[in-house]
Chains A and B, each alone.
Chain A
Amino acid sequence: QQQVKQSPQSLIVQKGGISIINCAYENTAFDYFPWYQQFPGKGPALLIAIRPDVSEKKEGRFTISFNKSAKQFSLHIMDSQPGDSATYFCAAKIGNEKLTFGTGTRLTIIP
């Protein structure tokens, strides 16, 4: 049973634009929601994370928006750059339990 649904599967954004990736979860016990960025041939790297007591978290050009009532969270990449082209995974976990990942979004930033 997939507990974290991620969309879109792939996304093409022009340089300088805003990239938006969405995730929805089912288990209301999740208390930690990280986003990972993965480049080809590399392991996923933690990008930014949020807990459900906060509705938004911003780190540089990356922002997580969290809607607890809708059980949704999203990643916004402002001023998208070609170097942001990668696969992005949302995830969720309860305490020290395992990470449950979304299916990934392949982001391509075109000049």
Chain B
Amino acid sequence: KAGVTQTPRYLIKTRGQQVTLSCSPISGHRSVSWYQQTPGQGLQFLFEYFSETQRNKGNFPGRFSGRQFSNSRSEMNVSTLELGDSALYLCASSPWQGGTDTQYFGPGTRLTVL
């Protein structure tokens, strides 16, 4: 099976702009989670989607939003970019078969805000 894919891999934006990142989960996986990784804060949970519904949400401002499509693909959007949004954004998918599911991560999108 192909792994989790994320596009684009690298992105450079300026303050005030908005950005959309895309994630395609492993085939058959129904849950998609997003994480922000920075050297200072480590891996921070953004949100999780299952069956096109947001199931969990982390402590991020409303500028961060996401959605999931019927084919389980997911996008996250960051509006009004700030310098502090520069980070590696990771997507993880899991089958969500009940119980505790293993999460499989994609390679990430490196976002740089200038």
| B58 neighbours in A (Cβ, 8 Å) | 98
Q: In the bound complex, what is the Cα–Cα distance between A67 and B53 (angstroms)? A: 36
In the complex the two chains form, what is the Cα distance from A62 to B39 in whole Å?
26
Closest to B6 in A: A43
Task: Tell me the minimal C-beta distance from A53 to chain B in angstroms.
Answer: 12
Interface locus among B12-20, B41-49, B63-71, B72-80: B41-49
Query: Are A46 and B99 in contact, CB atoms less than 8 angstroms apart?
Result: no
- In whole angstroms, how far apart are the Cα atoms of A51 and B31 in the complex? 21
* A44 in contact with B100 (CB, 8 Å): no
Closest residue to A6 on the B side, CB-wise?
B42
B42 lies within 8 A of A103 (CB): yes
- Give chain A nearest CB distance to B87 CB in angstroms: 13
* Chain A 11-46 interface residues, beta-carbon cutoff 8 Å to B: 31-32, 34, 36, 41-46
Q: Smallest CB-CB separation from B105: which chain A residue?
A: A43
A89-B108 in contact (CB<8A):
no
A95 interface neighbour in B43, B100, B103, Cβ under 8 Å: B100
CB-CB contacts below 8 Å: B59-114 with A: 90, 92, 94, 96, 98-108
Q: Which of B42, B96, B100 contacts A104 (CB 8 A)?
A: B42
Cα A99 to Cα B33 in complex, Å, equals 9
Contacts of B99 in A (CB 8 A): 95-96
The yes or no answer to B4 lying at the interface (CB within 8 A) is yes
**Contact yes or no, B107 A41, CB < 8 A:** yes
Of the candidates A41, A44, A45, A93, the one having the most CB atoms from chain B within 10 angstroms of its own CB is A44
| Structural contact, B108 and A98, CB atoms closer than 8 A | no
In whole Å, how far is B99's beta carbon from the nearest beta carbon of chain A? 7
Q: Which residue of chain A is the closest to B107 with respect to CB atoms?
A: A43
The answer to whether A49 has its CB under 8 Å from any CB of chain B is yes
Residue of A43, A49, A102, A103 touching B106 (CB-CB under 8 A): A43
Separation of A45 and B58 alpha carbons in the complex (Å): 22
**Closest 4 pairs between A and B when the two form their complex, measured CB to CB:** A43-B105, A101-B43, A32-B100, A98-B45
